[in-house]
A and B are shown apart, each in its own frame.
Chain A
Amino acid sequence: MILLLGLAAAALCCSSRTGAQETPYFVAYSHHLEEPGNLEVEVYSIYGTQKAGGDFIAPWMELEYGMTAWWTTEFYIDSQTTFGDSTVFTGTRWENRFRPLMHEHWINPVLYIEFENTTDADKTLKEVVGVDNQFDAAEPNSEANRSHTHEIETKLILSSDYKGWNFSENFIGEKNLGHEPWEFGYALGMDRPLRLAATPRPCNFCRENFILGAEMYGGLGTVKAFSLSGTSHYVAPLAAWQLPNGVTLSLSPGFGLNNNSHRFLLRWGMSYEISGVGRKLRSLF
């Protein structure tokens, strides 16, 4: 919370002329990468209810950097608080996204690879894979946080833009580096700004700065049992407010679609894009 307030204060005090074009999805990814040389600092949280344990809040922080126009790298720090239990640091993740095709097409692929060093207490729910369900999150933090997992997560991101809409489809394959089978999942996203053309003058509250959309995500079983059943699925409308100074505020209530899912999830977050970081780094070498 202190970090979020600090980021908010910094964002209001500093002016950045950078406007991000990334889609404000929480789970799905589009083919729009971070602009080269820009650093985006993002702070997100998720609140979730669960039947077999206390509700939880899991904040995470992302540092996203545009290495080149076709390569974005991102570092995550995860944590969570379970009501009636404790607050724990749950690990780190490092992801990379690559655009293999150099031009825009009807469907634009992006290759995603992530290394996760987290514990079983991680509740950020950045993806649902295998037979993930809400009862996995019911284990007390003291026990869950002892079990470390090292995983490689891969995604095939397919994304299209059409008349202001973005449609994204992600196919997820995750492999625990221990002796676990491949697990699969999916995430779908669509969004659109409320107004496509920009107004002549700078404004914070005009419709062009607001984006509405929705996401749907869930598991697809494992390599041994590929299935939509026995796992959890969610649908989540989302709204984002992109301020001209580089700050984006986003909110997304999510709803579980079966008994394996958390009944209700609420995600919120704030991001701030800092332009020209690459140029400053370059001047050091």
Chain B
Amino acid sequence: MGRPLISALLLLALVAATASAARHWKIDDRGVLMVIAKAPVKTRSWKNPYEGQSDAILAGEKLFRQHCAECHGDDARGLGHAANLRSSFVQNATPGELAWFLRDGNLPRGMPPWAGIPEPRRWQIITYLKSLGPQ
């Protein structure tokens, strides 16, 4: 009697925690702005090795659809509270700041770090994002 009850309570707690966590797993444009503002100064001078290259834009688009579109939408304008990546906050950021943000993420506000993706692929994603231009 005791063990099933404890198991049921644990399961309920897990579901409740999941739902609670799920409410907070997105960020908004303002969050992006605040985090990008904290990018170390040295990151602002990081150069994108693929800047403007058409193959990199295509590769970046492919990667964006695999990793980013689920939250930011196919058009990168953001779904729900996820950031609009065509906003001026993002489009005016330097490639280095975006590279830093993409690598580190924003854990407290739900943006996972993408350091597990090799650096060249992160630059390809940034090349694609920059090619979209502001909305």
Contact = CB atoms under 8 A, between A and B. Distances in A.
B124 A197 contact: yes
B59 interface: yes
Contacts of A244: 62, 66
A217 B26 CA distance: 37
A73 B17 CA distance: 11
A196 B21 contact: no
B59 A21 contact: no
B75 interface: no
Contacts of A23: 116
A166 B19 contact: no
A275 B116 contact: no
Contacts, number: 116
Interface string A20-35: 0111000000101101
A197 B22 contact: no
B2 interface: no
A32 B14 CA distance: 22
Interface string A231-262: 00000000000001000000000000000000
B119 A21 contact: no
A42 to B, nearest CB: 17
Interface in A160-213: 161, 163-164, 166, 193, 196-202, 208
Interface string B114-132: 1111111100100000000
From DSSP, what is the main secondary structure of chain A's interface residues? Answer: loop
A103 B66 contact: no
A17 interface: yes
A109 interface: no
Contacts of A163: 119
Given A200-B58, A281-B19, A276 B104 contact: no
A121 B94 CA distance: 56
Contacts of A66: 25, 112
A13 interface: no
Given A197-B121, A198-B63, A278-B22, A30 B116 contact: yes
5 contacts: A30-B116, A36-B110, A36-B112, A68-B24, A202-B62
Interface of A: 17-19, 21-23, 30, 32-33, 35-37, 65-71, 73, 99, 102-104, 161, 163-164, 166, 193, 196-202, 208, 244, 275-276, 278-279, 281-282, 284-285
